[in-house]
Amino acid sequence: MILVLWALAVLSLLAATVVASVRLENRQSHNELERSKAQLAAQGGLALAVQMLLGEPGRLPTDGQRQVFDLDGTRLTLSVRSEHGKLDLNFCQPELFARLLTHLGADPQRAALHARQLQQQRAQGKPLRHLEELLQVTTLSTDQYQRILPFITLWGGDGVPVAAFAAPTLRKALDLKAASPAASNPGSMLSIDTQAELGSGTTAGLLATVVLNPGDGDGTLYRVLRWQER
């Protein structure tokens, strides 16, 4: 009798575990589906931004200001910044790189070391091709790299960032005077940051650096240079 009761107890426990597992899987599947929807919405936000940049010049500011749109219950937050408003690691003076690092909390001596390491890489005729290479050619920590990432580029082509498109933090670090974007050309190299929030509250983000009208001969409106999902 005791053995039977024990067996029934074990079976009941197993049944409860199976039910809980199924519920968890269903919940995870639902969450994954919502996450996928949000990611698709964020990608749709990128397409919307490109459409406005090409079809309605001036509709979206290119100095990082956020614009919010509500599309069928999905909240899209778009932010566009010209790559001219960032510090180009292949063209800037090393001391500007050191100043940015110091402004963001790096020890001045370490910042100067990182700047020399970057300069040594460039002196070898080896410009950076990917932003992540900065971690390979310098002794920057991952945390320091993440701090400066919003303010650096490889596609601006400027020795000094264009103040009209630069973030306030970068302007302050490099002592750049504020200017109106209306008086400057943002160019075709842009970083587009999209954040999508579904009605359920699920969110997803996408940061893409693109070149508009790349002229590849295939009729594409833009070409992706860098893609980061969040």
Query: Of the ranges 4-13, 88-97, 172-181, 205-214, which is most confident?
Result: 88-97
Residue identified by tokens 């919010």 is 68
Predicted confidence (pLDDT) per residue in 114-125, tens digit: 999 999 999 999
Measure Cα distances from 182 to 15, 61, 157 in Å.
67, 9, 20
User: Over 60: is that where the pLDDT of 161 sits?
Assistant: yes
pLDDT band of residue 13 (cuts 50, 70, 90) is very low
Within 72-167, where are the H helices? 94-103, 108-123, 134-137, 142-148
Measure Cα distances from 143 to 105, 135, 227 in Å.
11, 11, 20
Quick one: CA torsion of 201, 28, 193, 147, rounded to 10 degrees? Answer: 110
Tokens, residue 131: 């932003």
User: Over 90: is that where the pLDDT of 16 sits?
Assistant: no
> What local confidence, expressed as pLDDT, does residue 26 receive?
60
Cβ 153 vs Cβ 87: under 8 Å: yes
- Helices 108-123/94-103 angle, 10° precision: 150
- Comparing C-alpha atoms, which of 125, 123, 134 is closest to residue 88? 134
CA 192 to chain centre: 8
> What local confidence, expressed as pLDDT, does residue 93 receive?
96
> What local confidence, expressed as pLDDT, does residue 36 receive?
92
> What local confidence, expressed as pLDDT, does residue 7 receive?
42
Tell me the pTM: 0.84
Pairing outcome for strands 87-88 and 74-82: unpaired
User: Over 70: is that where the pLDDT of 27 sits?
Assistant: no
User: Over 90: is that where the pLDDT of 5 sits?
Assistant: no
Task: Pick the more confident residue, 29 or 78.
Answer: 78
- How many other C-beta atoms can be found within 10 angstroms of the C-beta atom of residue 46? 21
> What local confidence, expressed as pLDDT, does residue 40 receive?
92
In angstroms, rounded to a whole number, what is the distance separating the alpha carbons of residues 121 and 78? 35
Within the chain, where are the H helices? 2-55, 94-103, 108-123, 134-137, 142-148, 168-174
> What local confidence, expressed as pLDDT, does residue 1 receive?
55
In angstroms, rounded to a whole number, what is the distance separating the alpha carbons of residues 116 and 191? 27
Cβ 196 vs Cβ 41: under 8 Å: yes
- How many other C-beta atoms can be found within 10 angstroms of the C-beta atom of residue 79? 19
